[in-house]
Amino acid sequence: MNDTSLSRAPRRGLSAASRHLAAPLSLVLVVSLGLPAFLGACAAAGQERAPALETRAALAVEPPAAAWFRPAFRVEDFVGEERAEGPEASQGQTPPAGTQDPAATKPAAAPDVDIPIAYVSGEAIDVRSFLTRLWMRSNDVSREVLDRLVVENLALIEAERQEIAVSPTRVDERSEAAWKALGESLERQGKGVSIAEHLRRELGVDSEYYRRQLRREAILQMLAERVVRAWAFARPRCEVRLVELADQAALDAFSAGLAAGRGFDALAKELHRYREKEPDGAHVTLVKNDNAELSRLAFHTAEGSVAGPLAAEQGRHLMLRVEKFLPPVTGTWKEIGATIEKSLIDAPVDDLEYVQWRAEMVKSYSVDLEPFFKLIGVSH
């Protein structure tokens, strides 16, 4: 898994761990849940991406035979009354893995598309030509946008099923933070222009339109955070500390230290690959999954004990210590909403949570990207 920006400082030490969380599948989708409009403006302004406004994860996804197409959601419908918890949900936390909605049907073949996006001397430039050229010139960006839409819809489906609603006050705070961050970036770069002028020049939009997009994306991100955390809390979990060792020599030194009676903490401070940012190792919460090597190892290790090594990419190795086992927290959103909200304040959702959630969602809901690839004439 590639390094990702999170709603807190990036955990680069977790990249090697992610490969142990999901079964090997074929189509890699790089998922971004954040503020695409804001990020687009950031790119135009040449600023760095703001970690507080984006959550990304990488996950392999098997393209299924059929897709579940739902009517478009109205995002504002998920903003509830001024309270942390939403209405009582009538169903459980997640449908059984591998199940599909009864309304799921095989999508119709993609129709021929002839939508003009421009005219040159009366001759139309078709949207298919535009998308094909965009794909060939910037595959990563195209896939990122496509995958973001996929994950947004997965989160919306789950939010609707659980009847999750987000606080309008918190939505306003999130969108205002994005607006303020853009202004501060322009000021740092010495652009000498207002946000409104920057938006007109770089994006061709006015402030009102941009603020509406910020609000919409804030709702989407907040729903995704709550959906993922509710899913994780409904399952047995354990808190672990991970140490990534750069090579065999580091692993040998770590093993020798343990054999000599040295503590996990001291060895992490000396040998963890990312000890400057994580001096005592990476703190992560794993959801129980017997099909995932890292989770399986953790749940077969006694609390307070050390386990490993697990082989990682490029000759690296992982060692872990189980800190604490956590029981499931289940119920309707009305019953568990306040607990979920507090947990997000204490510890924002991280990339490993998203990976585990996404692996489960693609078992429950089909994801079919074939219409897009058929539209642009690309075999994938």
Which residue ranges make up each domain of the chain? Answer: 12-233+332-376, 237-326
Task: Collect all residues with Cβ–Cβ distance below 8 Å to 149 and sequence separation of at least 6.
Answer: none
> In angstroms, rounded to a whole number, what is the distance separating the alpha carbons of residues 348 and 357?
15
> In angstroms, rounded to a whole number, what is the distance separating the alpha carbons of residues 354 and 350?
7
**In this predicted structure, what is the pLDDT of residue 44?**
35
Cα angle 264, 18, 57 (rounded to 5 degrees) comes to: 130
- 207-233 and 139-162 helices, crossing angle to 10°: 60
Express as a percent the part of the chain with pLDDT over 70. Answer: 71
Which residue in 291, 303, 329 sits closest to 239, CA to CA? 303
Give the tens place of pLDDT for each residue, 152-165: 999 999 999 999 99
Which residue in 309, 308, 287 sits closest to 299, CA to CA? 287
CB 355 within 8 A of CB 59: yes
- 207-233 and 351-364 helices, crossing angle to 10°: 80
> In angstroms, rounded to a whole number, what is the distance separating the alpha carbons of residues 29 and 143?
7
> In angstroms, rounded to a whole number, what is the distance separating the alpha carbons of residues 207 and 41?
12
For 237-326, CATH gives 3.10.50.40
DSSP readout, 225-249?
HHHHHHHHHTS-EEEEEEEEESSHH
Give the tens place of pLDDT for each residue, 122-135: 999 999 999 999 99
Q: What is the mean pLDDT of the chain?
A: 76
Q: What is the mean pLDDT of residues 81-110?
A: 45
Rg (CA), the chain: 23
**In this predicted structure, what is the pLDDT of residue 379?**
78
**In this predicted structure, what is the pLDDT of residue 26?**
22
